[in-house]
Amino acid sequence: MRFNRLLSALILATAPLATPVYAATTITWWHAMEGVLGDKVNEIADAFNASQDQYVVKPVYKGSYSDNLTATIAAFRANKAPAITQVFEVGTATMMSAKGAIYPVHELMQDTDTPFDPNAFLPAVKSYYTSADGHMLSMPFNSSTPVLYYNKDAFKKAGIDAPPKTWSELGDDARTLVERGASECGLTTAWPSWTQLENFSAINDLPFATKANGFNGTDTRLVFNQQPETVAHIQQLADWQKTHAFEYGGRGDDGTKRFQSGRCAMLTTSSASQAGIKDASAGNFEFAIAPMPFDQDAISQPKNSIIGGASLWVMKGQRDEVYKGVARFLNFVASPEVQADWASFTGYVPITTAAFERLKQQGFYDKTPGADVAINQLTRGTPNDNGRGLRLGNMPQIRNIIADALENAFNGRDSVPEALDNAAKRGNAQLTQFQQSVGQ
Amino acid sequence: MTVFERHRLTPWLLLAPQLVIVVLFFFWPAFASLRQAFYVQDAFGLGERFVGLANFERVLATAEYWRAAGVTLIFSIAVAAGAMGLALLFAVLADRVLRGSKLYRVLLTWPYAVAPAVAGLLWLFMFDPVLGVLSHGLALIGVHWNVHLDPTQALLLVVIASVWQQMSYNFVFFLAGLQMIPASLLEAAAIDGAGPFKRFATITLPLLSPTAFFLLVMNTVYVLFETFATIDNTTLSGPGGATRTLVYKLYEDGFVARDLGSSSAQSVLLMALVGLLTVVQFRYIERQVQY
């Protein structure tokens, strides 16, 4: 026993001597991918590390997206920022305005003479991370978009053959499902603000905020409450709530439970939730994926939906040597091989056209029905002012404010117009504060 | 005396580790947040501007702040009353148990060892509107349980989780307090013909009052600060802000909205509130306490 301890102490003590003499440059990558996604992130880093011997990428899981952003900010303030950090799409405005803290990806690529073509990315992905003057500031990594999941067994039981295309068809189907006892509830949703307001606005070509949803300046203000179609949509959800045609399922991805348990027959949530839903519903019921419904009173041909997910930001304060490695690694991450593998494994969309083509060639979309719904919905048409995404400061908090409003509308505390007006007012105070804090 | 004078430095040396910790982890952050309350700053700290009392004005002018203050008031009273009342009841009962008293005491103390975040998750697991065991039970007796939309039920859930947790702490102190009461006093009263309730009201309760007073202060602090994790793991301040307490709002503004000025101003206000409450408790309630 004692001998063993002595031996292990010796091994520990001599361990540093065993490392190679030439030191590879370490690149720290903070991320928020947990569980199997985290394993996949490590796999990507390992593959990169094995492909060359100059750089070692070290991925570090820092908790939720919000935790990681907090950690990154705190580290930056202490001059200890990681080289690369993963920031969710709603943190984009915060990162973009932190000009002294970030190293824009297009500059990095130029400074390190790394080939980089922004047009290789899907337009809806590229636009989200591109500044007003047309430069890509961060590297897209994991992008998803909301889709409609429906319980095929329940639909069969209710005698409905096809998933709804419009919200009014969805309303009819939801009522039929409940009335015929095929399910206790028709529709539920995860990420309520993202699916029912942000994407509803984009798909139906309605503004969510002024200044092209914040893309043209930080003096943007929320206007979703002034769009009659948006207000009417939330009103119909509130009406359906009374008959269980719709059931509000809580914030974040809480609503998913109502679908997974078989209680609700339809769910709007991220395309990236597919793997999780498949696991949870296995042996219980069959489900399929359809595009998000659109509002036929607002538009005849639905526009593209907008993305969720995250991108990789490069932080200032590293040595030049590190940045060379960062540029090489980012190129590796965006390569068709890595992206195709990542997308087929996770349900995120392939972020480049090349990766999409590669998956098509591999027959992925033939083997996996429904997997192309998200990317087709994301790539239909060219994104216009209402469909490039949202660039709003304090957006995570605005989502909380919208969740407050939806809850107050669905439980009858406020009328729908009252609730949305109040959310816009509170949200605009956030935008004013953000505008002042970044001094613009 | 001379011995001490030669060792003037020694007491300071002995105190130093504790002083360093207090300065580093209490005074410094407190000072930093006091300073921050007068500035507007971006998230990354790249620039800041002195704004005087503007952050305070902004906080006090929002309806949500006052709503959170109201929620905090109701929440505090419910949790303090619930946790202290139940703890006293259990302490009296556990004090009378002759057989297996240690087991009861351990079991009643246990919840305190559970982290608030875990406590929140445990209760959510039982009361989840879709998956919760108790939600199904309630549905059978005709109660539609949905903490995602019902403000009263949501508040009830966080009150129950907090009471369950804080009760153990109170229980330990009440039990210790009960065991300090001399048996001879109670016996004398019994001989004089006082029944159990009379004995409890005229002897036990007054003699427990220092403990109860101490616990009142501690419970107030617990409710104001430590229930954050419970709320964050169950209702996330919803539905519609029905469970948004002052400390939760402070967190949202600081760590979600990254509005450091506003959240610092709120922390200063909260600190002042706790100070004020403690002073009030010491000035007015302590007078009723018999040591």
Q: Which residues does chain A have within 8 Å of residue B261's beta carbon, measured at their own beta carbons?
A: 437
Q: What is the CA radius of gyration of chain B?
A: 23
Average pLDDT estimate for A71-85: 95
Contact call for A249 and B256, based on CB within 8 A: no
A178, amino acid identity? V
* DSSP of A50-103: HH-SSEEEEEEE-SSHHHHHHHHHHHHHTT---SEEEEEGGGHHHHHH-TTTB-
Length of chain B: 291
Evaluated on CA atoms B130, B132, B137, B141, the torsion sign reads negative
Examine the domain organization and report whether A299 and A399 are in the same domain: yes
Examine the domain organization and report whether A188 and A266 are in the same domain: yes
Instruction: Name the nearest CA neighbour of A290 among A259, A268, A258.
Output: A268
Write the residue in B42, B150, B238 that is nearest to A97 by C-beta.
B42
Q: How much is the pLDDT for A435? A: 92
Q: How much is the pLDDT for B48? A: 86
Q: How much is the pLDDT for A347? A: 85
A interface with B, Cβ–Cβ below 8 Å: 66, 70, 73, 76-77, 94, 97-101, 248-252, 254, 257-258, 261, 263, 394, 396-397, 400, 403-405, 407-408, 410-411, 413-414, 426, 429-430, 433, 436-439
Residue A379 lies in a domain: no
Q: Which residues contact A106 (CB under 8 A, 6 or more apart)?
A: A116, A118, A135, A136, A137
Contact A431, A393 (CB under 8 A): yes
Of the three residues A332, A367, A402, the one that is the final residue of a domain is A367
Residue A84 lies in a domain: yes
Q: Which residues does chain A have within 8 Å of residue B42's beta carbon, measured at their own beta carbons?
A: 97-98, 437-439
Residue A376 lies in a domain: no
Q: How much is the pLDDT for B290? A: 67
**Mean pLDDT over each residue of chain A, to the nearest integer:** 92
Q: Which residues does chain B have within 8 Å of residue A414's beta carbon, measured at their own beta carbons?
A: 240
Q: Which domains does chain B have, with CATH numbers?
A: 61-288 (1.10.3720.10)
Per-residue pLDDT of chain B (291 residues; tens, 9 = 90+): 455 567 788 889 999 999 999 999 989 989 999 999 999 888 898 888 899 999 999 999 999 999 999 999 999 999 999 999 999 999 999 888 778 888 888 888 888 888 888 888 888 889 998 888 999 899 899 888 999 999 999 999 999 999 998 999 999 999 999 999 998 999 999 999 988 889 999 999 999 998 999 999 899 989 998 899 999 989 999 899 999 999 999 999 999 988 899 999 999 999 999 899 888 888 877 777 766
List, for residues A95-120, the tens digit of each pLDDT value: 999 999 999 999 999 999 999 999 99
List, for residues A1-53, the tens digit of each pLDDT value: 444 554 454 444 444 444 444 578 999 999 999 888 899 999 999 999 999 99
Contact A83, A30 (CB under 8 A): no
Residue A207 has pLDDT above 60, yes or no: yes
Share of chain B above pLDDT 70, in %: 97
| pLDDT grade for A267, boundaries at 50, 70 and 90 | very high
Examine the domain organization and report whether A291 and A311 are in the same domain: no
Residue of A nearest to B150 (CA): A411
Residue A117 lies in a domain: yes
Q: Which residues does chain A have within 8 Å of residue B253's beta carbon, measured at their own beta carbons?
A: 397
Contact A418, A235 (CB under 8 A): no
Residue A323 lies in a domain: yes
Examine the domain organization and report whether A232 and A99 are in the same domain: no
Q: How much is the pLDDT for B116? A: 82
Write the residue in B41, B148, B253 that is nearest to A248 by C-beta.
B148
Q: How much is the pLDDT for A18? A: 46
DSSP letter (8 states) at residue B239:
S
Residue of B nearest to A404 (CA): B240
Q: Which residues contact B65 (CB under 8 A, 6 or more apart)?
A: B59, B246, B249, B266
Q: How much is the pLDDT for B169? A: 93
Q: Which residues contact A51 (CB under 8 A, 6 or more apart)?
A: A332
Bridge partners of residue A289, in order along the sequence: A149
Say which CATH number the domain at A56 has: 3.40.190.10
Examine the domain organization and report whether A60 and A120 are in the same domain: yes
Residue A214 lies in a domain: yes
Q: Which residues does chain B have within 8 Å of residue A254's beta carbon, measured at their own beta carbons?
A: 148
Three-class SS state of A218: coil
Examine the domain organization and report whether A238 and A261 are in the same domain: yes
Examine the domain organization and report whether A17 and A154 are in the same domain: no
Contact A148, A287 (CB under 8 A): no
First to last CA, chain A: 67
Contact call for A411 and B62, based on CB within 8 A: no
**CA dist., res. A249 & res. A298, Å (int):** 26
Share of chain A above pLDDT 90, in %: 85
- Looking at chain A, the number of H-run helices and the number of E-run strands are 21, 10
Examine the domain organization and report whether A160 and A213 are in the same domain: yes
Residue A375 lies in a domain: no
- ipTM confidence: 0.86
Examine the domain organization and report whether A53 and A126 are in the same domain: yes
Average pLDDT estimate for A168-194: 97
Write the residue in A404, A426, A437 that is nearest to B41 by C-beta.
A437
Examine the domain organization and report whether A218 and A252 are in the same domain: yes
Examine the domain organization and report whether A26 and A92 are in the same domain: yes
Q: How much is the pLDDT for B118? A: 87
Q: Which residues does chain A have within 8 Å of residue B149's beta carbon, measured at their own beta carbons?
A: 248, 407, 410-411
Nearest-neighbour CA in chain A from B74: distance (Å): 19
- Provide φ and ψ at A133, rounded to 5°: -90, 15
Give the best residue of A433, A434, A440 to mutate against chain B (max B CB count within 10 A). A433
Residue A98 lies in a domain: yes
Contact A103, A364 (CB under 8 A): no
Bridge partners of residue B76, in order along the sequence: none
Domain count across chain A: 2
Contact A407, B238 (CB under 8 A): yes
Tokens 């998913």 -> residue: A256
List, for residues A406-436, the tens digit of each pLDDT value: 999 999 999 999 999 999 999 999 999 999 8
Examine the domain organization and report whether A184 and A328 are in the same domain: no
List, for residues A368-403, the tens digit of each pLDDT value: 888 899 999 999 988 899 999 999 999 999 999 999
For residue A209, give its domain range.
146-305+393-437
